[in-house]
Structure 1
Amino acid sequence: MGRMKIGRMKKAGKSYGNESISSLKGADRVRKRPGVIFGSDGLEGCEHAVFEIVSNSIDEAREGYGSVINVTRYSDGSFEVEDFGRGCPVDYNPAEERYNWELVFCELYAGGKYDNEAGESYEYSLGLNGLGSCATQYASEYMDVTVWRDGFQYRLHFEKGENVGGLQKEPTTRKKTGSLIRWKPDREVFTDIDVPPEYFTDMLRRQAVVNAGVSFVFRSQVNGKFETTEFRYENGIVDYVKELAGETAFTQPYFCQTERRGRDREDKPEYKVKLSAAFCFSNSINCIEYYHNSSWLEHGGAPEKAARSGFVSAVDALLRQGGKYQKNESKITFGDIQDCLILITNCFSTQTSYENQTKKAITNKFIQEAMTDFFRSQLEVYFIENPAEADKVAEQVLINKRSRETAEKARLNVKKKLSGGLDIANRVEKFVDCRTRDVNRRELYVVEGDSALGACKLSRDAEFQGIMPVRGKILNCLKADYGKIFKSEIITDLIKVLGCGVEVPGKHGKELSSFDLGSLRWNKIIICTDADVDGFQIRTLILTMLFRLAPALIREGYVYIAESPLFEITAKDRTYFAYTDREKTDILQKLGNAKYTVSRSKGLGENEPEMMWMTTMNPESRRLIKVMPAGTEATARYFDLLLGDNLAGRKEHIAENGYKYLELADIS
């Protein structure tokens, strides 16, 4: 091999060498990279900074120091957290040869929560990582700290990560100890600092749930006045489960707890876990929330995996032992249990591995194993001690399972029905395809009945024009439910021919084949019906179907109406077609004194192929009306007026506008 030359790179006139390497120091570690610490430099990161300060007060309350935490949101964008704990240590620390306030508010990864053997440390800490007070201070426009402890009042003031004025200390006669911190998030750090009141009410309610007996008082300043909300659950998660279930539960709330010791790996240190859970079963409400060291685990992690495994194992054993399964019946899933389960877990550990700084999931292997065994064993005891409730749970879970399987079978059948290929073995009855595979040229004529099919088939250009007959009266899709709609062969056949699937919102959309405009097999969908009352009604019903099941086809301009002539005017050897009364009058005026005959245009099935080609199918001479929605709301309103349940509105509309269409009515 040749020798490798090691040198210094140059770029755009600037050298890149040893002197180019730098690191962020002090406040810049947070101010220039907030996303690394708070998970985001936007509103979510700012909210997490708030939570870090509240967490410190929660840790004090859970240790038994103070039972009230006040949180205030001021109208100027600043926040305040007050607790009545022991007061944050801020005075001189001989062991560290520094002031404690420097360690707490100016040094990342420092604090009293790492050494669980220390006298003032926390066994189970929410703010375990030593970032909270310091990181939030660094990310603030200003922060004011007031501490009461040891018979003194201490004050600190920070601006943009820098202390101003040092520590102010003076004696106090106040007997209560505690900490009060007010700060304003800095717009130079976060892109959005307008934390809404809803964040506070949701977060503080959750903290009240998992910190039994602690009152969380939230004050929000609006127009100079304070609106106050208080959250307190005397019995913690048990009271919360009762609140969630209301009158819908068919079992009573059940509470269980235990403590375990273990390690995530053989070479890792042993730690302690305190597990507690409350649950009940309900016919109509389901809710599962996992909390660890008071932090809501939005993404779960280890506890969610444990619940899935533990509950499925215990309930499956209950069903097997009771002979509840039918012969060769498949095993239940966690989803079958979850549909009727209200479960709140509230766990603590002396060591915790979070997926990231925002603490939305934990990954501890031992916690997962301990919780799995905890759920399995506690449910076994619960089912034995409560046989009547166990039977209700077994029955409801099996109902959920069998309903799911029935729905899944129906979904697969409908999906297969709608997405079946148009090969010879699966050809839609009486559908006539065209030869070209070029989607940009292909046109589909949706026609009325077999007679129109025959006429169009003889008249069309087989190269690019296909025909789909609508046999019989099509269902009113505006009033029918989806189950009934997809039992109609007329509708499912047409959807198969279109090829693009359906757009169905909500749970039905998940059960059906998804809509894909790119899979549409046609460049134009042309609705071709007779110019009479029956033809207009069929046209309207087809449009309603497309509006309900595939509105993008209308929105994107793929749907057309073939305008059929109302009158045939024959003069000498020439035939004229009039599509309106006005056109008929104009033609007759042009003919003058020439002899002519006027007749109503025949139905599509009665037309000669040559005339059908000229009036309806020849791109050079036909008249197509592109269907374009005047607006989603207006379109929906008119469909509802004409075909929905608004009978009074329809009568009024006919009374006001019916005279305009009298000549079209078949009245003798």
Structure 2
Amino acid sequence: MYIGKLGDGSSVDDGIYVLVKEIMDNSIDEHMMGNGKVIEVKISDHKVEVRDYGRGIPLGKVIDCVSKINTGGKYDSGAFQKSVGLNGVGTKATNALSQYFKVQSYRDGQTKWAEFCKGELTAESDGFEASNAKSGTHVCFEPDNSIFKNYHFIPQYLDSLFWNYAYLNAGLSINFNGEKYFSQNGLLDLLSKKTNAEENRYPIIHLKGNDIELAITHNNQYGEEYYSFVNGQNTTQGGTHLAAFREAIVKTVREFYKKDFDPSDVRASIVGAIAIRVQEPVFESQTKTKLGSTTISPDSNSTSIRSFIGDFVKTELDNFLHKNPSTADAILKRILQSERERKDIAGIKKLANERAKKANLHNKKLRDCRVHLPDEKSDARHDTILFITEGDSASGSITKSRDVQTQAVFSLRGKPLNCFGLTKKIVYENEEFNLLQHALDIEDSLDNLRYNKIVIATDADVDGMHIRLLILTFFLQFFPDLVRNGHLYILETPLFRVRNKKETIYCYSDEERRNAIEKLSPKPEITRFKGLGEISPEEFGTFIGENIKLEPVILEKEFTIPQLLTYYMGKNTPERQKFIIENLIIEKDLEEVLLT
């Protein structure tokens, strides 16, 4: 089984999250069959525990189910035809990739447990023991730190995972580290959480049928935003079902209004979610993030996914619009607004693209790498990085020390424009923004994104923080999907270098600096790095290599993008003034901190 990349947990698709999901999927399948309404999860930095209240693994099969291929409870079982996986490989993979793994099944007043190390049995209960615990399964594991080096779980990624489980299984309660995840209205709740009712053009449309559920609305943000699922699996890269959904929306809207709208105008600013269930789904990748199935079941006479979704949307959405004329009017206004905006920038867009093509031939801002994300034949494509730097000195250090195979550098000439509140026209009018857009190849969608990670690398001073904020504003304003899909990061570089004649320690915080001074006492040399250009290329190579420290940019669930940008980049609101006053550190206080 392929679990994706190893990683340290800083990316949402790192393997440690796949391990958690594989254990959770078994508990979810039990719930889907009507066994157990509660799943309890505890996760610390390095340990995961999952307890469900399903039927429990048959006691005589406990060891086989977690360590031998083709011995899962779902194998050859018609009861689980619409599960994500059918042979239980995921649990075996989790076991094999854990330095400690324990499974305990409770069933019919008895229990059986077994412990493993890297897939090898180390201990087990002596037969079946009596137990008063409720039936179900308890799994505890610690990922192997020799494989997942320096790993840690990021709470926001886990939060998103468990909420998706809750949305797709209405009535299920997931208790994660003391917090309850519960949804009564499925995808309606998902979209309600992902959007702000005040910013939506009309109330969320929520439609349900046999093996299909969807929700849609329009707001004022740029781009299209979708959440798609197959048999409970979050297909982050979409697939045949999402393509059919997008196509069906355009076709239904055109027929309802009897106008041949441009598809981009219909889908501009849309936020949608779709979940379907199919028999024996086929995915294009081993991590099951993109559906490849073209039919609802493997039968030769099965309905195509395109027809299944298209017919449902045509019937149900068309009926809804006829019954809700106010929503129909709001959708029409949004489409016409998008049409005007598209035509307004058509002329300047053509000129800007021509300039960008000429500039790309000798683009001094971009030092490109050799491998890119769309290069499907390359194993290194997921390692591709574009560093966005400020000034020639910083870009020079990174350029000299980077891996030319997978690491590219885009150099800003200074502070970019604050684009908050501006229309997308500015992306084409501003040469720097336009060149960055073309370097990433994201003008129309993320389908051709050239680098898996876009890393903002700015100085650790006030100007550097300001530039970082302006770049974040650019991406959040015009390319929010880049952030939502986990492609944007902040490069962490050391603030201090503490060394003596025998040892050098790089410190990323004041606490690390104090510990280093104490370790290398009596009188170590201390260097404060204020700019990336102050770090030599030889040193820089150690910070952007195998042990690179990246902080992912994650959108907190409490805020929508317009709320976030208004707070940080809008006019000086009382809330922001209050925050600054309460958290301001004056120069004298800062000197005292640095001297302690």
Q: TM-score, normalised by structure 2?
A: 0.56
Partner of 1:381: 319
Structure 2 CA distance for aligned equivalents of residues 411 and 512 of structure 1: 14
- Compute the displacement of 1:481 (Å): 11
The residue type paired with residue 348 of structure 1 is R
The residue type paired with residue 83 of structure 2 is S
For 1:346-405, what per-residue CA distance to the aligned partner results, in whole angstroms no more than 9, with x for missing partners?
Answer: 211221001122110111112432223322332222222223321221221121123123
Say if 1:295 and 1:168 are closer, same or farther in 2 by CA, change over 3 A.
Answer: farther
The residue type paired with residue 196 of structure 1 is I
Q: Is residue 2:270 matched to residue 1:332?
A: no
Where in structure 2 are the equivalents of 1:460-479 lying within 5 Å?
Answer: none
- Compute the displacement of 1:417 (Å): 7.2
Match of 2:57 among 73, 88, 91: 88
Structure 2 CA distance for aligned equivalents of residues 511 and 139 of structure 1: 37
Where in structure 2 are the equivalents of 1:118-197 lying within 5 Å?
Answer: 121-174=79-132, 176-197=134-155
- Compute the displacement of 1:127 (Å): 3.6
Q: Is residue 2:13 matched to residue 1:55?
A: no
Partner of 1:105: 66
Q: Is residue 2:192 matched to residue 1:242?
A: yes
Contact kept in structure 1, 2:81 and 2:280, CA below 8 Å: no
Say if 1:82 and 1:412 are closer, same or farther in 2 by CA, change over 3 A.
Answer: same
Say if 1:56 and 1:481 are closer, same or farther in 2 by CA, change over 3 A.
Answer: closer
Q: Is residue 2:166 matched to residue 1:208?
A: yes
For 1:513-542, what per-residue CA distance to the aligned partner results, in whole angstroms no more than 9, with x for missing partners?
Answer: 9xxxxxxxxxxxxxxxxxxxxxxxxxxxxx
For 1:228-254, what per-residue CA distance to the aligned partner results, in whole angstroms no more than 9, with x for missing partners?
Answer: 322111221122223333222333333
Match of 1:413 among 333, 336, 351: 351
Structure 2 CA distance for aligned equivalents of residues 73 and 480 of structure 1: 40
Q: Secondary structure at the match of 1:346?
A: strand
Structure 2 CA distance for aligned equivalents of residues 315 and 418 of structure 1: 35
The residue type paired with residue 250 of structure 1 is R
The residue type paired with residue 258 of structure 1 is G
Q: Is residue 2:234 matched to residue 1:344?
A: no
Contact kept in structure 2, 1:186 and 1:193, CA below 8 Å: no
Where in structure 2 are the equivalents of 1:301-340 lying within 5 Å?
Answer: 301-319=239-257, 321=258, 331-333=261-263, 335-340=264-269
Q: Secondary structure at the match of 1:351?
A: coil
- Compute the displacement of 1:511 (Å): 11
Contact kept in structure 2, 1:294 and 1:346, CA below 8 Å: yes
The residue type paired with residue 67 of structure 2 is C
Q: Is residue 2:16 matched to residue 1:79?
A: no
Question: Which of structures 1 and 2 has the larger relative contact order (alpha carbons within 8 angstroms, sep 6+)?
Answer: 2
Partner of 2:156: 198
The residue type paired with residue 232 of structure 1 is F
The residue type paired with residue 202 of structure 1 is S
Where in structure 2 are the equivalents of 1:205-604 lying within 5 Å?
Answer: 205-219=163-177, 228-245=178-195, 246-259=197-210, 274-284=211-221, 287-319=225-257, 321=258, 331-333=261-263, 335-367=264-296, 368-369=305-306, 370-415=308-353, 502=432
Say if 1:509 and 1:388 are closer, same or farther in 2 by CA, change over 3 A.
Answer: farther
Contact kept in structure 2, 1:89 and 1:101, CA below 8 Å: yes
For 1:76-112, what per-residue CA distance to the aligned partner results, in whole angstroms no more than 9, with x for missing partners?
Answer: x121111111112231xxxxxxxx1243111123312
Contact kept in structure 1, 2:102 and 2:113, CA below 8 Å: yes
Q: Is residue 2:4 matched to residue 1:46?
A: no
- Compute the displacement of 1:482 (Å): 13
- Compute the displacement of 1:51 (Å): 0.9
For 1:597-624, what per-residue CA distance to the aligned partner results, in whole angstroms no more than 9, with x for missing partners?
Answer: xxxxxxxxxxxxxxxxxxxxxxxxxxxx
Structure 1 CA distance for aligned equivalents of residues 329 and 277 of structure 2: 32
Partner of 2:507: none
Structure 2 CA distance for aligned equivalents of residues 388 and 632 of structure 1: 55
- Compute the displacement of 1:292 (Å): 1.0
The residue type paired with residue 265 of structure 2 is D
Structure 1, unpaired ranges of 5+: 1-35, 92-99, 220-227, 260-273, 326-330, 422-476, 496-500, 514-547, 549-629, 634-644, 646-668
Aligned CA-pair RMSD? 3.8
Structure 1 CA distance for aligned equivalents of residues 347 and 442 of structure 2: 11
Say if 1:478 and 1:374 are closer, same or farther in 2 by CA, change over 3 A.
Answer: closer
Contact kept in structure 1, 2:109 and 2:130, CA below 8 Å: yes
For 1:59-78, what per-residue CA distance to the aligned partner results, in whole angstroms no more than 9, with x for missing partners?
Answer: 11222211111111134x12
Structure 2 CA distance for aligned equivalents of residues 144 and 480 of structure 1: 52
- Compute the displacement of 1:123 (Å): 4.1
| Identity level (%) | 25
Partner of 1:3: none
Say if 1:116 and 1:378 are closer, same or farther in 2 by CA, change over 3 A.
Answer: farther
Q: Secondary structure at the match of 2:236?
A: coil
Structure 2 CA distance for aligned equivalents of residues 84 and 279 of structure 1: 34
The residue type paired with residue 237 of structure 2 is H
Structure 1 CA distance for aligned equivalents of residues 134 and 101 of structure 2: 22
Who wins on radius of gyration, i.e. which is larger?
1
Structure 1 CA distance for aligned equivalents of residues 419 and 83 of structure 2: 56
Q: Secondary structure at the match of 2:39?
A: strand
Q: Secondary structure at the match of 2:165?
A: helix
Contact kept in structure 1, 2:100 and 2:117, CA below 8 Å: yes
Q: Secondary structure at the match of 1:46?
A: helix
Structure 2 CA distance for aligned equivalents of residues 42 and 161 of structure 1: 21
Q: Secondary structure at the match of 1:103?
A: helix
Say if 1:387 and 1:162 are closer, same or farther in 2 by CA, change over 3 A.
Answer: same
Say if 1:363 and 1:192 are closer, same or farther in 2 by CA, change over 3 A.
Answer: farther
Structure 1 CA distance for aligned equivalents of residues 147 and 98 of structure 2: 8
The residue type paired with residue 186 of structure 1 is D
Contact kept in structure 2, 1:137 and 1:143, CA below 8 Å: yes
Structure 2 CA distance for aligned equivalents of residues 479 and 385 of structure 1: 43
The total of aligned residue pairs comes to 376
Say if 1:372 and 1:188 are closer, same or farther in 2 by CA, change over 3 A.
Answer: same
Say if 1:193 and 1:110 are closer, same or farther in 2 by CA, change over 3 A.
Answer: farther
Structure 2, unpaired ranges of 5+: 9-13, 297-304, 360-415, 444-469, 471-529, 534-570, 572-596
Contact kept in structure 2, 1:316 and 1:332, CA below 8 Å: no
Structure 1 CA distance for aligned equivalents of residues 356 and 129 of structure 2: 81
- Compute the displacement of 1:258 (Å): 2.8
Structure 1 CA distance for aligned equivalents of residues 168 and 328 of structure 2: 27
Q: Is residue 2:67 matched to residue 1:68?
A: no
